Chains A and B, each alone.
Chain A
Amino acid sequence: MAVVETKDLTKVFTPGERGAVNDVNLLTREGEFMVFLGPSGSGKTTLLRMIAGLEDPTAGEILIGGQVVTHLPPRDRGIAMVFQSYALYPHLSVYKNITFPLRAQGVPKEEHRGKVEWAAGLLGIGELLKRKPRELSGGERQRVALARAIVREPTVFLLDEPLSNLDAKLRASAREELTQFHERVGTTTIYVTHDQIEAMAMGDRIVVLHEGFVRQVGSPREVYDDPADTFVATFLGSPPMNLVDHGDVLVGFRPEHLLPRPLVEGPAVEIGVRVTGIEYLGSERIVYALIDRDRFAEQKVVAKLPATYEVGVADGEAVEFAVAERNLRFFDKTSEKRADSRALVWG
């Protein structure tokens, strides 16, 4: 087991343009499940491939288990990787796929069978060993890819969107299985995804990336409740955090915290709105509205009402909403970074 560390890691594909990855400094914890989260094109794959040694950094260093590996080829880094397409070798049986890393690294042949049985048992694919990859379902392929990754007991696991080829239902159960699997083997894992639900559900810590920059590192709760900037605030959560223009700051609050006045307890700010649209989603209602008052008039906000709140809110109606003060977040308007909390003079 080992920790992964990057120091000022940068990758520029086209000289003169913004890098795909810029000055990234990260340090995983021993046995941690770390998630790289960001929209498509934010540099997650590039960062992961540099850690794997499949991409040369333009600048910076990579350390695995305290040893500088920046210029080592992938095979000497003690890592294993699961690719988005799974990259199973199409001409080899499942058994041969799983033993491929063993053969490549010269593990004596007598040890192969035992190791394959261990890996296959862990993932429940003992029945599939004779098949070819094309004869497997998506879920089975993913497990074979995992078995191939663990069989030589790597010190670090790298996974690049391994669930994105599965259908929605399978994805939910695979997520659960991956988490349990990680608990069993306890290997330091870096997991790339653009899906915030995956990130929140699986990650010990989440690294939020945007345009090649790290925007925030923290536990799922931290990045959700205490976003470091407006990008993190609006990238996480669905619908995203409301941001209301307030002089030199932006005031943020989550839709689930914007509630009808009677539901909000303690110190709160009141926000009168005019409802412009409602979506019924079964367990909740999404209410689209415009602020109806004073100098904030006409700014859009979104509220998420639990279905258990049964009072009617009708389209076109003016409603009195409120947000508890503890749920307000402040961002500097120019830097878009988090600013100190302050008392709001609303209106």
Chain B
Amino acid sequence: MGVKRGAGRLGAAMFAPALLYIVALVGVPLVLAFLYSVGDVKVGSVGYRFVGLDNFISVLQSPTFRGALLHSFLFTVGAQLIVIICANILALALVDRFRGRGLVRFFILLPWVAPISLGAIGWKWILDSIYSVINWALVQLHLVKQFEAPMWLGEPTLAMLSVIMVHAWRMLPFSTVILLAGLTAIPKDIPEAAAVDGAGFWRTHFQITIPMMTPIINVAVLFGVIFTFTDMTVVYILTRGGPYNTTQVLPSLAFFTGILGGDLAEGAAISVFLVPILVVIAWLMLRLAHRAEVV
């Protein structure tokens, strides 16, 4: 038996288990998700009837759904905007070695590495309607009166702001370490050449370093967008989509409709609205990876 031909068979044998598993438990559900979204499946129902775009039409007519679509974009754009600005600031502050850097990094990473559901419940306590420590501080500073303190999770605008901030809190460490990896990968001689050419530190940073980091910033943003747009944990724990669905996002609405409400078809139709964004992101990522390889 020849080496290469044997190797091909061995390779197939080694890859097959993972492939079978992924086809069965990602491929099949993915296909089912699309089938459900154009069918009439309820929990416990048997059989399947094709209903075309009925589910999509029905969800599109629902104000709750249109709200959730809007909130999803708000949630994603808002959180990612905050994250990418703060991550740039933080990465630059962390790039050199200094005493205590390891400890600082540990603190800064906590929100990302701790389970998000637990972090979120911590915030729920911090933003509590009565015992919020933030409100206590605001009262002490005489910025608000004790019984007029903001209801962080009970008032639509504030609730949206809160879930955005908490999610940004969660994603900031992730983007920071990715940018940090990009920053340390820039060859030292390029900023040094700029310094020799007479550029000051900040000019070098904004005109040389940041442009050179564009690909890695793109990576951070693309992953950030995916992780934010498809997340329901923060919303579910902090507000359950409330008050009055004002913080409902697509994934949480899909959960309430499909799992708790038992309407699998309509839940699936809502989830399927995540797909276009995912496809765009995936396409952008592949382009990015392709470019990085060519250069």
Contact = CB atoms under 8 A, between A and B. Distances in A.
Chains A and B touch each other in the complex, with CB atoms below 8 Å apart: yes
Contacts of A54: 3
B79 to A, nearest CB: 44
Most buried by A among B3, B4, B6: B3
A53 B4 CA distance: 10
Contacts of B3: 53-56, 73-74
Contacts of B2: 56, 71
Interface string A225-251: 000000000000000000000000000
Interface in B97-111: none
A-side interface mostly: loop
Contacts of A71: 1-2
B5 interface: yes
A347 B1 CA distance: 63
A285 to B, nearest CB: 42
A35 B5 CA distance: 29
B1 A55 contact: no
A73 B2 CA distance: 7
Interface in B147-162: none
A251 to B, nearest CB: 47
A92 B95 CA distance: 36
A28 B2 CA distance: 24
Most buried by B among A55, A56, A74: A56
A73 B4 contact: no
Contacts of B4: 55-56
Nearest to B1: A71
Contacts of A53: 3
Interface in B1-50: 1-6
Contacts of A74: 3
Contacts of B6: 73
A73 B6 CA distance: 10
A71 B6 CA distance: 11
Contacts of A55: 3-4
Nearest to A52: B3
Contacts of B5: 56
A54 B5 CA distance: 11
Interface of B: 1-6
7 contacts: A55-B3, A55-B4, A56-B2, A56-B4, A56-B5, A71-B2, A73-B6
Q: Which 10 A-B pairs have the closest CB atoms?
A: A56-B2, A56-B4, A56-B3, A71-B2, A54-B3, A53-B3, A73-B3, A71-B1, A56-B5, A55-B3
Given A56-B2, A56-B3, 4 more contacts: A54-B3, A56-B4, A71-B2, A73-B3
